[in-house]
Chains A and B, each alone.
Chain A
Amino acid sequence: MTAYRPGPIALAAAILIAIFLLMPLLAVVPISFTPARYLSMPRGSLSLVHYRELFENPDWAQSFFLSIRIGVVSSLAATTLATLFALGIWMFRPRFSAALVGFVLLPMIVPPVVSAMTLYFLLTALSQATGFVGYDTWLGVVLAHVVMIVPFAVVLILVALGQVDRRIDLAARGMGAGVVQRAFRIILPNIKFGLLTAALLSFVLSWEEIGVTLFITSVNAITLPRLMWSGVHDNIDPAIAAISVILIVVTTVILVARMIFAGPSQEKH
């Protein structure tokens, strides 16, 4: 990678795009410190009033804990299902592997609004059978989130498996190790960082999911993004800026930490 580096024009273009990509994330920072009750730039005086609002209004805390609960359960379920699936594809290379992977990636490719309508159909139908897992219940949201995040987990785990040297698995097999032994003692330990990443990023995706959640909740299962949606869509509440700043900072810290631990990702997608 030495013969052909980007020249000044390419660098200038990339810098402009980088600014475009980061600008809206930076713009919420000054807005979150405005003392006014409406969306505006702080003029002269800064205020933490919108951050205090997040702590004082119980709605925010409730949604926060609900989102954490949904995120943890969805992430564990999605990572487990995705790990089993990816192991199966990697170890056995069944016929139609490409078609099978394509199939489980569907929820990522199908327009989110169609997924939302589909899951709305499922959950309203389930509601009639049981009040437990259905429309506007937290387990219903978990079910929907697992569907939406599982393709991302599958991609991440397949990428991680792609880095594993097949010969160590072959060696284990040659020494007579069974499927379970190979999976738990050879393959999974080799991709534990990939699994951790998949679980963490699944959590982030569930934590932030709004496109589908909006269709399947009304008053009981208000996740954090659902609460933010009301604050953005109905009236623009600067508390949204405060919560956005917190979310952006947390996401950035996670990504930078991941990059420091893993090094720059070489072959992604």
Chain B
Amino acid sequence: MRKPATALSCLFLIGPLVAFLVLVYVVPFLGVAEWSVTLPTPGVTQYEKLAADPLVFSVFVRTFRICLTVTVATVIAAYAIAYVWVRGTPLQRRIAELCILIPFWISVLTRAFGWLALLSSRGLINTWLIDLGVLGEPLTLVRNELGVVIGMTHYLVPFAVFPLASAMRSLDERIFLAARGMGASRLRIFWSIFVPMTFSGIIGAALIVFVFALGFFVTPAILGGGRSIMVAELIYLRMFQSPDWGLGAAISVTLVVIVGGLLALLFRYARLGNSGLVQ
């Protein structure tokens, strides 16, 4: 049906990026997958280790626990700010947008450091509380799981805001007018109409946040202080401290499989495949 010239120019436009990513991303990933079954010796020993080694297993369990906590906290926080970003007055919307976008574009490292400046024993919060006489000893707010959860939630809120805001924007304004006209209170409209109708956005945001949280490295490494190691940090340590590339590769492959499964769920239930990017 198409003219060959059209097909050719289409290929010329789309081809370079696709070819580039296949060559520098897909093929090397297959190499990593190969490492996972060949290093140090051929076989599936690394995967057995993942399932059986209590240390490795406990890191996976901790990662899932932290990711779940972070996901719940992030989605609630993102819902509150996305709500004002979408439904607020023009001024409120501008302020909300800046509060979402400024942290979004600031490096993960700077943001983790900001939390260190706030939460560490000589940080802002402890200094204030001690100066005010509320505390004698500084609280341990960081270099533990609490610090990791705070830092990761902070990092992930903007990522959850985008799908939530797009679900909120797609609602038909007339529904609220109708509900108002029937005498529903503001709270009633929110709980009985707004939240249920944005449920696909909530599921989408939760899955995106969980997926992003799973492979997170910088924030846990800085705010966890090496005490609450997550999967990604385990890969780093296995690669650079006790060279064990096979295990690092096996964990990488496992992560990709988990993420792939979660994304399949996302496309099935949240119907984000039609997010408006392809028109």
Q: Does B4 contact A (CB under 8 A)?
A: no
Known: A20-B77, A22-B99. A103 touches B21 (CB 8 A): yes
Q: Which of B117, B162, B173 has the most CB of A within 10 A?
A: B117
Q: Are the C-beta atoms of B106 and A232 separated by less than 8 Å?
A: no
Q: Does B270 contact A (CB under 8 A)?
A: no
Q: Does A129 contact B (CB under 8 A)?
A: no
Q: Does B42 contact A (CB under 8 A)?
A: no
Nearest-Cβ distance from residue B242 to partner chain A, whole angstroms: 15
Of chain B, the residue at the smallest CB distance from A41 is B127
Q: Does B232 contact A (CB under 8 A)?
A: yes
Q: Are the C-beta atoms of B118 and A232 separated by less than 8 Å?
A: no
Complex CA gap A104/B277 in Å reads 13
Known: A84-B17, A111-B255, A240-B113. A1 touches B87 (CB 8 A): yes
Q: Does A114 contact B (CB under 8 A)?
A: yes
Complex CA gap A90/B189 in Å reads 39
Q: Are the C-beta atoms of B9 and A14 separated by less than 8 Å?
A: no
Complex CA gap A121/B239 in Å reads 11
Complex CA gap A102/B98 in Å reads 28
Nearest-Cβ distance from residue A97 to partner chain B, whole angstroms: 5
Q: Are the C-beta atoms of A120 and B18 separated by less than 8 Å?
A: no
Q: Are the C-beta atoms of A269 and B157 separated by less than 8 Å?
A: no
Of chain B, the residue at the smallest CB distance from A123 is B28
Q: Does B177 contact A (CB under 8 A)?
A: yes
Q: Does B166 contact A (CB under 8 A)?
A: yes
Known: A110-B256, A117-B239. A244 touches B118 (CB 8 A): no
Known: A41-B127, A85-B13, A112-B216. A14 touches B81 (CB 8 A): yes
A-B pairs with beta carbons under 8 A, tally = 305
Q: Does A100 contact B (CB under 8 A)?
A: yes
Complex CA gap A60/B35 in Å reads 37
Of chain B, the residue at the smallest CB distance from A107 is B25
Q: Does B60 contact A (CB under 8 A)?
A: no
Q: Are the C-beta atoms of B239 and A269 separated by less than 8 Å?
A: no
The interface residues of chain B lying within 8 Å CB-to-CB of A179 are 6, 9
Q: Does A131 contact B (CB under 8 A)?
A: no
The interface residues of chain B lying within 8 Å CB-to-CB of A38 are 122
Known: A143-B24, A211-B217, A233-B222. A244 touches B113 (CB 8 A): yes
Of chain B, the residue at the smallest CB distance from A218 is B240
Complex CA gap A225/B108 in Å reads 10
Q: Does B88 contact A (CB under 8 A)?
A: yes
Partner of B13, one of A88, A158, A247, A255: A88
Q: Does B148 contact A (CB under 8 A)?
A: no
Q: Can you name 12 A-B pairs with beta carbons within 8 Å?
A: A3-B180, A17-B80, A22-B103, A31-B117, A98-B273, A111-B211, A112-B215, A113-B236, A118-B252, A121-B28, A179-B6, A210-B218
Known: A17-B78, A162-B276, A211-B108. 9 other contacts (CB 8 A): A5-B89, A18-B81, A84-B16, A106-B21, A111-B256, A122-B27, A232-B109, A251-B106, A269-B165
